[in-house]
Structure 1
Amino acid sequence: MRIIDNQKEFDQLCLDLEKESIIFMDTEFCRRKTYYAILSIIQIATLNQKIVIDVLSGIKIDGLKNILIDKKICKVFHAPDQDFDILLHIFGKLPVNVFDTQIAAGVIGLEEVMGYGRLCKAILNINLDKSLQKADWLERPLSKELLKYAIKDVEYLIPLHRELSKEIDSRNLWDTYKTRSDKLSDPATYKINLEKIIKRVGVQDRSKEFKERFCHLIMFRENVAQTIDLPRGYCASDYQLIELCEKLPINDDDLSKLNIYQLPIAKKIFKNKLFELCLGLREAAKIN
C-alpha cells in the first residue's frame, strides 16, 4: 500500500493512472459539523497496486479530474452517491464510465440497496469488518488500523467487479444496468430532493399551498446552511421548518414565540430575509 502525501508523488500517480483501463475507488470524509463534506482520503486500487491519497496533507488534487472524466478509464465504486456529491463540488464534473457494484448487485437479483460488507459476504464469502465506519477520518496521523481498513474498501472491489460483470454478461443484463446507473451521471441526482423531505416529515397530506410554502422554507434553509457551511439540521430541523411554515413570522415579536429564535436561520444576517420571505408567503396565501 502506497501513501501519497506530497505533490510530486501525486502528480506522478495521475500520469500513471492515465495508462490504466480500470481503477477501483472510494473516499473517506467527514461532514458532521459542516454542510460541505471535508474530504480526508481517496483510496484507489489498480490490478497492481493499492494507494491512499491523503487529501489533508495539503496536496492539490486537481489532476484527478482528468482521470475521473476520462471515458477510456472505467471507475469502479460501491454506492458512490455521497462520493460523487463531494467530487462534483470539488471538480464541477461527475465521473464518467462508472461501474457501481451496488447497482450491479440489484441488477442480478440481489438486494437493491446492499451494503459493501453484505455484498462481500454474498459474492466473495468474506466477512468484512465495518467497525471503523464511523471513525474520525480527520484525525492525523492516520493509524495503520485505519489505513488497512480503508484500503479494503477498494481491495475487494476488484473481485466484486469481476464476478458481477461476469454474471451481467452471462445473462445479457447490460442494458438494464445502464438504465439503472444513468442517474449517477445526472447532476440533478445530487440536488436537494424536496419531495423526499416532504414525505420524510409527514406533510405529504397537507394542502398544496402549505407544501409550496414549506418548499420555499426548505430552500431558504439550504441557502443559510451553504452560506455558513453548517449542516441543515444545525440551522433548523425539518420539524422546526413545519412550525415556521405554520406561523410565518414577519417581525421579532412573532419570531420570539418560536423554537427557532436562537438558531442560525433566524440570526441577524438572515433574519430580515426570512421576514421578507414569510411576508411574501403570507401575501400569496392571503394570510393576515
Structure 2
Amino acid sequence: MTTIQYIDSAEQLPLLCEQIKQAAWLALDTEFLREKTYYPKFCLLQIATPEWVVCVDPIALPQLETLFDAIYDPNIIKVFHSCRQDLEIFHQITGKLPSPVFDTQVAAPLLGFQDNPGYAMLVSSFLNVNLNKAHTRADWSKRPLNEEQIQYAADDVIYLCQIYQVMIQKLAELGRTDWLIHDFAALENPELYLVEPEKAWLKIKGKNKLTGKQLSIVQALAEWRERTAQAENRPKNWLLRDEIVFDIAKLQPETPAQLADIRGMDMRIISRHGVALSKLVSEAKLRPPIPLSLTGRSAKKSQQQEAILDILTALVRIRAEENQLNPSILASRKDLEVLLFDDDDECPLLHGWRFSMAGKELVGLLKGELSLGIAVDKINIINN
C-alpha cells in the first residue's frame, strides 16, 4: 500500500519539488469549497506518480510559488480528470496555466466511453475498483483532516496514475495518441477561466423570450450581479437568483419600495443595493439591448434544412462506426447545426481529430465538393 505523505510545513517543500522535477508526468487533483464564495477556496492539493503520493495543505502553506514552478515545468505532463475546475484554481493562484495537460475525461470517449464519464466509472471499468464516496461533501477547509479524508483524497490521484497508464497504452494501440492534441491545448486557453461580467447575460436561460426593454434590464442586472459577486466574493445567486432577475425585468421597478414588492426579493439586498438596482433598471429601460444572435438554428428549421442535417448525420454515423465510436462523441446534432448555420470557428468539427475524421468531409458536402451515393446497402462518399 502506498504511503501518503502529508505536507503542511515549508521545510518539506524543497524535497517535494526535487521529486517533481524527476517525474515525466504527475497525477493532480484538488479539493476546494465554493458553496459560500464566488471564487473557489483552495483546501488541498494531491500529487502522485507511480512511486509516491503526497497531499499538500495550502491552508497551512499559503506561499506555494516554488511548488507551482516545479509543477509548471513544460517537460512534465500534468494528468487530471475533468480538469476545468482544477485549472481555474491554478490560474487564480498563479495567473497562468500549466502545460501540457492530459484529461482522462476528455480522452475516455476515444476508448469507447460515453461523453464526460465520471471518475468513479473509469476507476471501476479500468481497475475493477469501487471508490468510497463517503467524503464527497466533506468540509475540506476544516483542520485537522482525519486519516479517512486524507486516504479518500489521495485515492483520487493514486488511481488516476493507474488509469492514465492504461489509457495511453490503449490510445497508442489504436493509433489515437495525437488525436487529443487540440482538445488538450484548448483547456490551456486562459480565456476559459476568465469571466467577463458584460457577457454574463449570455448564460441566462430563457432570455430569448423577453421583449427589448426586458432583455436590456436582464443584461444590466446580470453584469451588475457578476461584478458585485466578484467584488464581494459571494455566490452570485446569493445576490439575485435568475428567477428574481426575470421578475425585475418584467415588473421594471424603479424604486427600492417597488423592488420590495417582488416575491422572494431579499430585504438585505434591497437595504444594501436597492438604490443602485433601481437606478440600473431605470437606465436600462432607456437603451436598446445587445441583440440576441439571430441564426438559422434559433428559428424553426425548414424541412429542407432538417433533411440536410439528416444527411450530415449519416456521414457522422458512418465515420463513427468505422472508428468504433459512439456517433454522439464525434458530433452531436447541435454541432451539425452550428456547422450548417453559423460562421463559427469554435465548432468542434473544424478542429483536431473530429475535423480529420469527419469535419473535412462534412464541409466538402456543404460546399458541394462531395456527395453521398448508395451502392446496394452501402453509402459511399463521392468526389464531385
Instruction: Answer yes or no: same fold by TM over 0.5.
Output: yes
Q: What is aligned with 1:132?
A: 135
Q: What is aligned with 1:62?
A: 65
- What whole-Å deviation, never above 9, does each CA across 1:232-279 have from its counterpart, x for those lacking one? 121111111111222333322322222325243x443x4443233222
Contact 2:216 2:285 in 1 (8 A): no
Root-mean-square deviation over aligned CA pairs: 2.2
Instruction: Report the AA paired with residue 120 of structure 2.
Output: G
Cα distance between partner residues in 2 of 1:276 and 1:130: 48
Contact 2:72 2:98 in 1 (8 A): yes
Q: What is aligned with 2:30?
A: 27
Give, in angstroms, the shift of residue 95 of structure 1: 1.5
- What whole-Å deviation, never above 9, does each CA across 1:48-98 have from its counterpart, x for those lacking one? 111000111144112233134321010111001111111111111112111
Q: What is aligned with 2:267?
A: 262
Instruction: Report the AA paired with residue 260 of structure 1.
Output: M
Count of residues in correspondence between the two structures: 282
Indicate yes or no: 2:46 matched with 1:43.
yes
Residue 243 and residue 163 in structure 1: after superposition, are their counterparts in 2 closer, same or farther (change >3 A)?
Answer: same
Give, in angstroms, the shift of residue 172 of structure 1: 2.2
Cα distance between partner residues in 1 of 2:253 and 2:14: 54
Contact 1:117 1:129 in 2 (8 A): no
Contact 1:198 1:211 in 2 (8 A): no
Give, in angstroms, the shift of residue 32 of structure 1: 1.4
Cα distance between partner residues in 2 of 1:104 and 1:208: 43
Residue 143 and residue 213 in structure 1: after superposition, are their counterparts in 2 closer, same or farther (change >3 A)?
Answer: same
Q: What is aligned with 1:215?
A: 219
Instruction: Report the AA paired with residue 222 of structure 1.
Output: E
Larger of the two Rg values belongs to structure: 2
Give, in angstroms, the shift of residue 191 of structure 1: 3.9
Q: What is aligned with 1:82?
A: 85
Give, in angstroms, the shift of residue 215 of structure 1: 3.0
Residue 239 and residue 183 in structure 1: after superposition, are their counterparts in 2 closer, same or farther (change >3 A)?
Answer: farther
Cα distance between partner residues in 2 of 1:138 and 1:58: 13
Instruction: Report the AA paired with residue 20 of structure 2.
Output: L
Q: What is aligned with 1:165?
A: 168
Cα distance between partner residues in 2 of 1:204 and 1:109: 37
Unaligned 5+ segments in structure 2 are: 290-384
The two structures have a TM-score, normalised by structure 1, of 0.89
Cα distance between partner residues in 2 of 1:34 and 1:239: 20
Cα distance between partner residues in 2 of 1:65 and 1:73: 12
Residue 52 and residue 261 in structure 1: after superposition, are their counterparts in 2 closer, same or farther (change >3 A)?
Answer: closer
The higher-RCO structure (CA 8 Å, 6+ apart) is 1
Give, in angstroms, the shift of residue 194 of structure 1: 4.2
- What whole-Å deviation, never above 9, does each CA across 1:161-220 have from its counterpart, x for those lacking one? 111111222222234312323331112222447477323xx3344346644542332221
Contact 2:38 2:229 in 1 (8 A): yes
Percent of paired sites with the same residue: 28
Contact 1:67 1:73 in 2 (8 A): no
Residue 261 and residue 146 in structure 1: after superposition, are their counterparts in 2 closer, same or farther (change >3 A)?
Answer: closer
SS at match of 1:104: helix
Contact 1:77 1:100 in 2 (8 A): yes
Instruction: Report the AA paired with residue 223 of structure 1.
Output: R
Matches for 1:1-288 after TM superposition, within 5 Å: 1-192=4-195, 194=200, 197-199=203-205, 202-207=206-211, 210-258=214-262, 259-264=264-269, 266-268=270-272, 270-285=273-288
Cα distance between partner residues in 2 of 1:64 and 1:56: 14
Instruction: Report the AA paired with residue 17 of structure 1.
Output: I
SS at match of 2:65: coil
- What whole-Å deviation, never above 9, does each CA across 1:96-121 have from its counterpart, x for those lacking one? 11110100102222111111101111
Cα distance between partner residues in 1 of 2:203 and 2:235: 15
Cα distance between partner residues in 2 of 1:19 and 1:190: 29
Q: Which moved more, 1:108-117 or 1:251-260?
A: 251-260
Contact 2:123 2:159 in 1 (8 A): yes
The two structures have a TM-score, normalised by structure 2, of 0.68
Unaligned 5+ segments in structure 1 are: none
Contact 1:25 1:42 in 2 (8 A): yes
Residue 213 and residue 169 in structure 1: after superposition, are their counterparts in 2 closer, same or farther (change >3 A)?
Answer: farther
Residue 132 and residue 251 in structure 1: after superposition, are their counterparts in 2 closer, same or farther (change >3 A)?
Answer: same
